[in-house]
Amino acid sequence: MALREIIILPDKRLRSVCKPVAEINDETRALVADMFETMYEAPGIGLAAIQIGVPSRVIVMDLSKREAEAEPRVFINPEITWSSEETSLYEEGCLSIPDIHEDVERPSRVKIRYLDLDGNRQEEDAEGLFATCIQHEVDHLNGILFIDHISKLKRERIIKKFAKAAKRAKQEA
């Protein structure tokens, strides 16, 4: 396992559409292990492979409370097959957009299909925080960020703030 660097807005890779995983092998398992280590260290509750610069359709997630026993979940080639018309509002944040939190409205329930780490096809209903988190992470795999779901004005302010910070960091390097 290795701690990986989380890429930050305005890195253009965050807008990449990720490629499906063709085969679950040792490389896939090593990627997943690195993703968990990185996510727990951050700390976060979900991480898409693209957030560490790997354009593969892989998500890791753990929605357990910090004091509770870990409940690591892996979603390979996930797809949302159904979304409810009913919506929920959750305050979302993102490890690739640190210190920014905004209310995002999404379908309150979804059905997902994915492969587990053993390559078995799974289907599951998600609601509450799980539904919000899986939608947020699947968005990452499609080059969509949570700020794309907020007002244009707020989004532009956030993008401008991160672009300035990146420019400053580049000048100091």
Output the CA–CA distances (angstroms, integers) from residue 67 to 35, 71, 72, in the order listed.
Answer: 20, 12, 14
Cα 30 versus chain centre, distance: 18
Please choose, from the candidates 132, 125, 119, the residue with its C-alpha nearest in 3D space to the C-alpha of residue 61. 132
Q: Give residue 67's identity as a one-letter amino acid code.
A: E
Residues annotated catalytic, as ranges:
137
Read off the DSSP letter of residue 17: P
In angstroms, the CA 66 to CA 25 distance is 30
In angstroms, the CA 142 to CA 124 distance is 20
In angstroms, the CA 167 to CA 161 distance is 10
